[in-house]
Structure 1
Amino acid sequence: MKKIETSCIIDDDPIFIYGTKRIMKEIDFCNDILVFNNGQDAMDGLNELTSQGKDLPSVIFLDLNMPIMNGWEFLEDFVQIPNNNREKVTVYIISSSVDPRDLERIKNYDVVNNYILKPLSPQDLEEVLESMI
């Protein structure tokens, strides 16, 4: 199965991060995993990558409810990154509940591919891999 070069988890829940990283390693999901605990740290880290001429992660798993900068605020800033590989990035919203307003709101962002309920399962990640092929 195809493997992703770099993925990114943006979430403030250490248990979710630990579990997701473990599953990613088990199914050989990607070569490298970037982790940020809020949207601001993620923006700083991704801007640093682009300033160094490095590629952005192929996949970003984004929580909506975080301190400092939430997922919606991150998306607003992320779409402003002047990087020619931003359009190669796929964002998956991850949340512990389905809010119909959130489902409607994600339609405003071309970069958002889907909404996945926590916790992520190996099957969820395998479906992400299949969609990247």
Structure 2
Amino acid sequence: MSDVRHNVCLIDDDKIYQFTAKMILEATGLTHSIKTFFNGQEAIDYLISPENQIPENLPDVIFLDINMPVMNGWEFLEAFSLFYKELPKQIVVYMVSSSVDESDIQKSRTYEPVTDYVIKPINKDKYRELLSVLAN
């Protein structure tokens, strides 16, 4: 197992998903910190705040839900796409949804920041696989 530990960001309005995802991610031993946001706007505000413009304060990976209030996953990607290349480090984005709709999967591929589309629920082995890719 890799010794690299990652800063993780969960953007999802489901408190139960956030709780279980945090528990599973922590159990992988591959996380340094886990930040959670209940909608895309909260995450955008965090990512663009001046104090977070140093690499250590930014996530290495974002797990992004589609359906959320205030700002959904698609709206987050529209906003994130405008500035992500200017951030002091590259952030990997995984769309995470219970939707198996092929149109959602295809739409996610139209956004440059998105690395992959992952269908919920996600188990420990899948999180470990997704985080291990970051070390390469």
The answer, yes or no, to whether TM exceeds 0.5 is yes
- Structure 1 portions without partners, runs of 5+: none
SS at match of 1:68: coil
Please tell me the residue identity of whatever aligns with 2:17: F
Which ranges in structure 2 are unaligned for 5 or more consecutive residues? none
- CA offset at residue 119 of structure 1? 1.6
Secondary structure of 1:77's counterpart equals: helix
d(CA) in 1 for partners of 2:29, 2:102: 33
Counterpart for residue 83 of structure 2: 81
**Which residue in 1 is equivalent to 2:54?**
54
Q: Secondary structure at the match of 1:94?
A: strand
- Choose which of 102, 113, 116 in structure 1 pairs with 2:115: 113
Q: Report the AA paired with residue 43 of structure 2.
A: A
| Partner AA of 2:122 in structure 1 | L
Tell me which residue corresponds to 1:23.
Answer: 24
Q: How big is the shift at 1:77? A: 0.4
Letter in 2 for 1:99: D
| Alignment partner, residue 42 of structure 2 | 41
Deviation at 1:79, TM superposition (A): 1.3
Question: Which residue identity lines up with residue 54 of structure 1 in the other structure?
Answer: I
1:124 counterpart residue number: 126
CA deviation profile, 1:86-112 (whole Å, cap 9, x unmatched): 5x1110011112111111111211211
| Percent of aligned positions that are identical | 38
Alignment of 1:62-77 (within 5 A): 62-77=64-79
